Amino acid sequence: MGLAIEHAPGVWELSERLEPTLREMGERSDIIRTLQKALRADGAERDPMTFEIHDGAPTTAVVGRIIDKHLTDELGESLTLVVDGIDGRTHHVSGIDPTRVEDARIGSIIEIGPADSTGRSSDRAIVGMAEDGIYQPSRHLEQARFEGRVPGGDYEGFVDAHVRRLEALRRAGIAERIDGDQWHIPEDFEARAVAHDAERNGRANVRILSTFDLERQIGADGATWLDRRLVGVGVSDLSSSGFGNQVHEAMDRRREHHVEHGDAGRQPDGRIAYRRNLIATLQEREVARAGEETAAKKALPFRAAADGEAIAGKFTGTVQLSSGKFAIVEKSHEFTLVPWRPVIDRQLGREVSGIVRGGSVSWQLGRQKGLDI
């Protein structure tokens, strides 16, 4: 191993790398045992040669199912995930922010990618508005009103969002509040903000592709991850072994499910033709079914929101469907289900508004004046 040299009989020189190398080998052995234990608990077997241990964020995106999820430290600030990848490898990724995978369970499908090295548009706007290293919210408000490009015309809410960002960066020691209308912005503000976000987000970008495991997706009435693969990337990136092979088989079964239920048909040449706008149709179908079920529990009528419709009401909770996570927005006489986004989590129990566009919602948050719910 090159960790010791015998200069003369009985006289040895130990390398400075001896202790850290042996410690690293011990840690690696512990991780391999963790991977083997997680696979056995899941009823799966994998060649240890396919184990991949990531010291930080993966350099290329890893897609697969979660087979183990546990805290890395006693403070609960860091999470380790074991992911059975569609590439035929089993990945061990530590340093994940627990808040990024709160909805994920064993069997959920996720994507873990490299840390985002691009800054936020809000950070660029703060730097652009700063003069001689001083950012003034009042000046930003005047500029926003002059340009008139803020969605919904909520200029104060728009600037407040930038101030909240500065408050978070102030706690991290990156920005400094001088008084009620002045902030000191250092020259390396953007670079430090990007580094802060990368560390806070567990170094890796994490995206939950489906909270449903493969078996639940095969018979689901909504738009699943399998459906998006069927009409999108197909099977080109799937390994012929391990979880990749399982996904291939699940896609075949999901395809047959669509044929049986009239959402797809076989062509004379053997190809499968799917219903037009399959994803949107499946999502609408599942939302309608879930809405009626929720209505029975709430004793409040459900109404589906149309594309392009402006919605407003109280954000009272969420529901997890195979099509994704949806927010429950209630009025006094009815409620609707609309696609959820992390930006509205802090608005739980409050009045929200937005516009439904193409299967998503453009939320308009901040102080709402003169809004009649």
Instruction: Say yes or no: 80 and 206 in one domain.
Output: yes
Asked if residue 162 belongs to a domain, the reply is yes
Tokens 């090159």, residue located: 2
Asked if residue 218 belongs to a domain, the reply is no
pLDDT at 196: 82
pLDDT at 274: 92
Range of the domain at 178: 121-198
pLDDT at 203: 62
pLDDT range class, residue 369, cuts 50, 70, 90: very low
Question: What are the tens digits of pLDDT across the range 112-168?
Answer: 988 766 678 889 999 999 999 999 999 999 998 888 877 667 788 788 889 988 988
Instruction: Say yes or no: 243 and 298 in one domain.
Output: no
Asked if residue 371 belongs to a domain, the reply is no
| Residue 342 tokens, joined | 């992390």
Which of 9-13, 213-217, 233-237 shows the lowest per-residue confidence on average (mean pLDDT)? 233-237
Instruction: Say yes or no: 108 and 17 in one domain.
Output: yes
Report helix, strand or coil for 52.
strand
Instruction: Say yes or no: 42 and 159 in one domain.
Output: no
Is residue 151 a contact partner of residue 188, using CB atoms and an 8 Å limit? no
**Range 179-198 average pLDDT:** 88
R_g of the chain, CA atoms, integer Å: 26
CA distance linking residue 54 with residue 61, whole number of Å: 12
Is residue 87 a contact partner of residue 244, using CB atoms and an 8 Å limit? yes
Residues 6 or more apart in contact with residue 59 via CB below 8 angstroms: 114
Asked if residue 281 belongs to a domain, the reply is no
Residues 6 or more apart in contact with residue 48 via CB below 8 angstroms: 32, 35, 36
Return phi, psi of residue 310, to 5°: -85, 125
CA distance linking residue 317 with residue 330, whole number of Å: 9
Instruction: Say yes or no: 24 and 110 in one domain.
Output: yes
Instruction: Say yes or no: 139 and 27 in one domain.
Output: no
**Range 48-72 average pLDDT:** 86
Please count the other Cβ atoms lying within 10 Å of the Cβ belonging to residue 350: 12
Asked if residue 219 belongs to a domain, the reply is no
Nearest residue to 102 via CA among 305, 284, 267, 325: 325
Nearest residue to 120 via CA among 190, 177, 184: 190
Strand ranges across the sheet with 360-363: 335-339, 324-330, 310-321, 351-357, 360-363
CATH number at 94 reads 2.40.50
pTM beyond 0.75 = no
Mean pLDDT across the chain, nearest whole number? 87
Instruction: Say yes or no: 111 and 24 in one domain.
Output: yes
pLDDT at 373: 33
Report helix, strand or coil for 205.
strand
Instruction: Say yes or no: 68 and 174 in one domain.
Output: no
216 HSE (CA, 13 A, CB side):
13
Instruction: Say yes or no: 252 and 339 in one domain.
Output: no
Return phi, psi of residue 250, to 5°: -65, -35
- Write the DSSP assignment of 223-270 as a string of letters: --HHHHHHTTTTTTT--SSHHHHHHHHHHHHHHHHHHHTTSEEE-TTS
Instruction: Say yes or no: 44 and 101 in one domain.
Output: yes
- Write the DSSP assignment of 57-84 as a string of letters: S-SS-EEEEEEEEEESSTTS--EEEEEE
**Range 268-272 average pLDDT:** 89
Q: Is 76 left (phi over 0), alpha (psi -120 to 50) or beta?
A: left
β-strand partners of 328:
317, 337
CA distance linking residue 185 with residue 187, whole number of Å: 7
Total number of domains constituting the chain:
4
| Residue 222 tokens, joined | 């909504």
